[in-house]
Amino acid sequence: MAAFIGSKDWRNVLLYRGTTEAINAVMYSLMTEFEDGDNIVTTHMEHNSNYIPWYALCREITPKFGRKIELRIAGFDRESGELDLEDLERKVDEKTKIICCTGASNFLGTKPPIEKIVSIGRKSGYQHPNGLSGSYVLIDGAHLVPNTPVDVEKMGIDFLAWSFHKMLAPVGVGGLFVRREILETLMPFQYGGDMIAEGKVTAEKVEYNELPWKFTAGTPNIIGTILAGEVTELIVDMVLGERYRHISKEERTEKAMEAIQEYERGLTQYLIDELTSIDGVTVYGPKDASRKTSVISFNIAGQHPMDVARQLDEVGIESRAGCHCATLAHHYLGINPPASCRISPYIYNTMEEMRYVVRAIGKIASA
């Protein structure tokens, strides 16, 4: 798992039930560190799981402790779907404790420039209790990790959360990478069980286990964890077969993910080009597949996205309709009702299937 995201040390990877729980774990672990007057910067393109925890912290939790934390939300270009980096930079200052941003929007598909966001955070000058300087950066990688080469060390990410069920594994396991300098002083999210050092519980003092066990309270999802680890190798082997066995696991993973990214870009660009040429169809997000992950969200004039999804289902096409838990972005674009239909090609899909999808959507749009 650690090698799959470029982490040099497996001890920097914690396991939770999914991206949502991982992000909540960061929020609760940092909660006691926030000072009155601090702020959090996020964006209008976030999944609810990377917005609501921070909303709750600022509006519902810390006020009960007499602390005022501001939540600032950066916008995006309504035409291109690209993050407004200048707006984000304006909102970050010396009181910004953490920047929380999607790695790839599950609605628009947009991939914000993570390295530039990290650079903005590093320059903020925020002083953390552990002595580190600069705003932390948390990346929601749920739609990034399954489709894109990720190297947390090179990117400089402080927190990366992702889910294994979005990359061929069963539901119920998610990963959270935490930079070692942060992890060493981070408060646990949950208490009890294996996170306690063996025999180190007395009425006067409790000592916690070493990393990463300090963050593994309760009984883990053992079978799910094993399968999640296996799937990281399965994906690489599916793509590369017996090739490149002579190089390191990290290098081999990178080659496999580059191949997946390139393949999915071809499918995605075809869908974008064809769907935007159909009268009445509006496609959201970047129109250049190299600037997004493999999700294409769209609406058909005069038709509710739920009805579109139902018609696609009738001809054997799996899509998703609704707000995709990206409610902020739908409202930001003025979509009423706040919903769209989404097609998400993956490594097992073919170009012929994409042609079938285009023909089906064309028929629905012309009805």
Kindly list the catalytic residues. 325
Give the ranges where the chain is alpha helix by DSSP (H): 19-30, 52-56, 85-91, 114-122, 152-155, 180-183, 222-240, 249-275, 305-314, 327-332, 351-366
> What tokens does 299 get?
């609406």
Angle, CA of 64, 186 and 200, to the nearest 5°: 105
C-beta contacts of 300-308 below 8 A and 24+ residues apart: 300/341, 300/361, 300/364, 300/365, 301/365, 303/364, 303/365, 304/337, 304/339, 305/339, 305/340, 305/341, 306/339, 308/341, 308/361, 308/364
Q: Which of 354, 312, 347, 324 is nearest to 109 (CA)?
A: 324
